[in-house]
Amino acid sequence: MQTPPKEMGNIALINHPSRENPFRSVVEGSRMPIVVTDPNQDDNPIVFANQAFVDLTGYDLDEIIGHNCRFLQGPDSDPEVRRLIGGALAEQHDIKIEVLNYRKNGTAFWNELYISPIHDDEGNLLYFFGSQLDCTLRRQAAARIVEANAQLERRVEECTRDLEQALRHREVLLHELQHRVKNNLQVMASLIRLQAGRSDSEAMKVGFENLLHRINALELIYRKLYTADAGPTLELGGYLAEICETLANFHGPDRGIVLDVRTRPCHVPVETALPLGLILNELVTNSFRHAFADGKTGTIRLKLEPLDGTRWELRIGDDGVGAAGGLDWETNNNLGLSLVKALAKQIRATVEVDGSAGTLFTLTFQAQAADARAGRSAAG
């Protein structure tokens, strides 16, 4: 049975049946479920509920008025939430909290509950005002997002494990391939050395040595290409410097020939690095053999630097005897220079030759734009 309204505070105005009562009209017509409880009565019963609250819970008004709000709780309602609500009521302060409630038909719904105390002018507690908001759909949507994120994280973990396994497998295969190719190159080099040792022709021995140096250039770029952290490009300066060091050690560091190597960081595709390495091998080998006759000393220079945009310049030269009568680059058809021409054409590099003071080859070729900028930054 509905409790008669008290003649205190605004609750009497809300409960007053007069058609002229604006408070009752506003609260009754609100889409927000609203209840008012009386803490001055035993068990803090509900003394007012609007139609939205009836619609939300499914209870009739006579099943609501005069009862404590706990009738909305059920088997899965959180005791900790009940404790927090009880604490707010005891301390007479506002609370906003989400609680699992149950309708009359037993279906559960999530209720965003707001409770606020109502005091008189002297600060005495008169009522508690409570509003409800069915937040079930929002909670379900949030739960779906959490589950979707969890599934995504599991999928990412699975993909990461698969990728790591594939990378480990790739690394094993690359190491095996590297080992086999390295062994094959070593076998080839051993056969060439054996054949050179059996040859009585100096020209044949020189030819075998040239072939060994070319194999070394191939083996070196292969070793760099198939390291664990190798990418689609190769750092050209370091590659060329290693070739120079190998050639200097082979031709004898005690000859008094200085190898001056100056390079900027320059990443190029392997298809560009390999021809440039072979060109360097031919030209530096030629300088060691022919530029400093009769025990003369001198300098072989290598310089790699950016020009503009994506263009780079590679200068390979010496201050040796040079070519008698000058070097006719266009018509000279010896094997080494023919190979240099073919390799330069392969990467669309231009070649300029100056034989006036020693011998100087200048090659201009295209590299990646990002590395050209990096080279200019390092130079500046």
Cα 57 to chain centroid, rounded: 51
- The angle, 0 to 180 degrees and rounded to 10, between the axes of the packed helices 236-251 and 202-225 is 150
The tokens for 15 are 């409960």
Reading phi first (left if > 0) and then psi (alpha if -120 to 50, else beta), residue 52 is in alpha
The CATH number corresponding to 11-134 among 2.60.40.1170, 3.30.450.20, 3.30.230.70, 3.50.50.60 equals 3.30.450.20
E-state strands within 76-124: 95-102, 108-119
Q: What is the pLDDT of residue 25?
A: 66
Cα separation, 145 vs 218, whole angstroms: 55
Q: Which of the residues in the chain have pLDDT under 50?
A: 1-10, 12-13, 16, 18-19, 228, 369-380
- Which residues fall within 8 angstroms of residue 138, CB to CB, at 6 or more apart? 110
Whose tokens are 């200019």? That residue is 376
The tokens for 314 are 């590679």
Cα separation, 221 vs 19, whole angstroms: 96
The CATH number corresponding to 232-380 among 3.40.50.2000, 3.40.50.300, 3.30.565.10, 3.60.15.10 equals 3.30.565.10
Which residues are 49's β-sheet partners? 35
Q: What is the pLDDT of residue 24?
A: 63
Q: What is the pLDDT of residue 12?
A: 47
The Cα-based distances of 348 to 221, 275, 340, 363 in angstroms read: 20, 11, 12, 10
Give the DSSP per-residue string, 130-147.
EEEEE-HHHHHHHHHHHH
Cα separation, 112 vs 95, whole angstroms: 10
Note the maximum CA span of the chain: 130
Domain ranges of the chain: 11-134, 137-230, 232-380
Reading phi first (left if > 0) and then psi (alpha if -120 to 50, else beta), residue 269 is in beta
Give the DSSP per-residue string, 304-320.
EEE-STTEEEEEEEE-S
Whose tokens are 């002229």? That residue is 20
The tokens for 48 are 């007012």
Sheet holding 257-263, edge to edge: 257-263, 298-306, 311-318, 359-366, 350-354
Q: Quick check: helix, strand or coil at residue 260?
A: strand
Cα separation, 363 vs 367, whole angstroms: 12
Burial class of residue 38, CB neighbours in 10 A (0-12, 13-18, 19+): buried
| pTM listed for this prediction | 0.47
Residue type for 261, please? Answer: V
Cα separation, 219 vs 267, whole angstroms: 19
Cα separation, 366 vs 369, whole angstroms: 9
Query: H/E element holding 127?
Result: strand 125-134
**CB hemisphere CA count around 136 (13 angstroms):** 10
% of the chain at pLDDT higher than 90 = 44
The tokens for 243 are 């070739």
Task: Give the residue ranges of DSSP H helices in the chain.
Answer: 11-15, 22-29, 51-57, 61-64, 79-91, 136-198, 202-225, 236-251, 270-290, 335-346, 369-379
Q: What is the pLDDT of residue 200?
A: 73
